[in-house]
Each structure stands twice: as structure tokens, then as C-alpha cells.
Amino acid sequence: MSGFHTNKGDSLLAGLPLFTVAIFLFLSQMQGQDKAPGKGEPPGLQAADPESGSWPAFRGGALQAGVRKVAPADKPGLTWAFDMGDAVEATVAISGGRVYAAGVDGRVVALELMSGDRKGKKIWEHKIKAGIRSSPGIRDGRLFFGDDFGFVHAVDASTGKPLWTYETEGGAEILSSVNFSGSSLLVGSYDGFLYCLNCKTGKLLWKVETGAPVHCSPAISEGKTFVAGCDGLLRVIDVKTGKEVSQLELGENTAASPAVDGNQLYVGTYGSQIKG
């Protein structure tokens, strides 16, 4: 299974250590679009819409298209850099004026997006025993992520307080990042299953066995989730029922996460191909 390990979070700038979370002013309209939550309003209530100023999940949201329709700043510059103390392999989530980051040492932090402090300003920190390489996602005031011991965690996005933990089959690592459909959370595991959990309670709604590690993060569109597996198949699964609707032979194993654009889906494979 180690052959399928890839880092979702590429280094933000050559020369910056991997254990540093850095924020750049790439987006001229970033400041002011994503204001801090008001009193009594938990962060993370924004829709998974890259145009809203937030980036609440891996590649921005359910479609995993990774697109933000805002012009970049003319001269991007480093705003701040926060020392995480160890490697950061997962991408961050951004919502409610906060940045949520997780490290391979099991450390999860919430930082101010625009603090004015060159070293970054930490709001809270939560630590678990296992490493984290699954990119965190935020939904309805809760932050979700998987870990290397096969657990899915939910913590309060305002305080970092643990809310629930779900243990997957066999303790296999979770490198897949969470994605959301309504009140449901979807995530893949190296135990070969795709899991669907209730965001509020952590209760298992359904799981689908693929027969090989699920490294990818599932894309979601129009009530269906799309999972490209290490078994070389692209599966289409009904989000409500967990029933497999169809599958497509990719011809090669893949650890890539699908991206949806309109009625097209794109995914790369280990056969040096992009399929759409």
C-alpha cells in the first residue's frame, strides 16, 4: 500500500520548510471577503463555494475542481508563516476568517487568516495520538479529518473541543480527505472501504467495499459520489443509499482524486493518462 502514498499538499514556496504553514496574498480580494464570524456565530457555516472567500475542503468543495474565480494579486507576497513543528502533508481548510491545518505529528491548529502577525496567530490547538495526512474539511461549525490509525475525528471549529470519533475497519490509515453532501460526510480508507457518516453524530450511514485501498478523496455531484480506486475502477455511488450505480474500468490503478466540471469528470492514473 505504501506505493500509493502521495502528498496532497505541495510545498507553498521552495525554500520554506515543510513544517511551516504559510499564507500568501495571491488573491487581491481575499481580505474582506471572508470575515471572522460574529458573536455567537461559529465558523464554517459558509457553503462550499470557492467564490465566497472560503476554502472549506480539499480542492475547495464537493466537485473538487479547485477553481477560485478571483483575480490574483499583481505582486503576491508572504503574509505570515506559522511553524507547525513537523511535516504538513495535508492542505489547509479556510473558513470564517480562520485557517485550519493538521500535521503528521497529530497536531491540529486553528489560525487567524489575517492576523497581521508575521509568525501567524494561533487560536486553538488539538492533539491526537496518530499522524494526520488527510486534509481537514469544515461543515456547520465542525472540523473533520481522518488519521493514520483509521479514525475519523470531528472537533468544534470554534474551540477545538472533540465532538466524536469513528473507528474504521482494521485500523488502516486514512489519506483520503473528507467531502460533504448535506449532513453526510464521505471519506475513503486504506481498508478498501468508502464510508458515509452523519456529520453531527458520527454514526455510520453506509460503507462500500472496493477491494483495494481508497487513496482518493471522493468527488460529489447531483447526489452521486465518484471514487477512483487503487483497483483501477471508477465507481459511481448513490450518496443517500450507498448503492453502486455504475463503474468504469480505468485500465490502471489510481491514487488521484476525481474532479467534476459540468457533465465531465477528470482523473489521472498510474498509466500516465488523464481520463475525462
CB 190 within 8 A of CB 172: yes
User: Measuring CA to CA, which residue among 186, 196, 250 is closest to residue 219?
Assistant: 186
173: left (phi over 0), alpha (psi -120 to 50) or beta: beta
> Mind giving me the DSSP string for 20-69?
EEEEE--BTT-TTTSPPP-TT--S--S-S-GGGT-B-SGGGSTT------
Burial class (CB in 10 A: 0-12, 13-18, 19+), 272: exposed
Total tally of structural domains belonging to the chain: 1
SS3 169: helix
Beta-carbon contacts of residue 140 (< 8 Å; ≥ 6 apart): 42, 44, 45, 183, 199, 200
pLDDT tens digits in sequence order for the chain, 276 residues long: 333 333 444 333 334 445 555 555 444 344 444 443 433 333 333 334 444 568 888 777 776 766 777 777 788 888 889 999 899 898 899 999 999 999 999 999 999 998 888 889 999 999 999 999 999 999 999 999 999 999 999 999 999 999 999 999 878 999 988 999 999 999 999 999 999 999 999 999 999 998 888 877 888 888 888 878 777 777 888 999 999 998 876 666 666 677 777 777 777 654 444 444
All three cell numbers of 90, joined, read 495535508
Q: Report the CATH number that the domain containing residue 96 is assigned in CATH.
A: 2.130.10.10
Q: What is the pLDDT of residue 3?
A: 37
All three cell numbers of 97, joined, read 476568517
Distance of CA 69 to the CA centre of its chain: 20
Q: Which residue range forms the structural domain that includes residue 72?
A: 2-275
pTM score over 0.85: no
Beta-carbon contacts of residue 147 (< 8 Å; ≥ 6 apart): 106, 128, 130, 131, 132, 134, 153, 173, 174
All three cell numbers of 15, joined, read 525554500
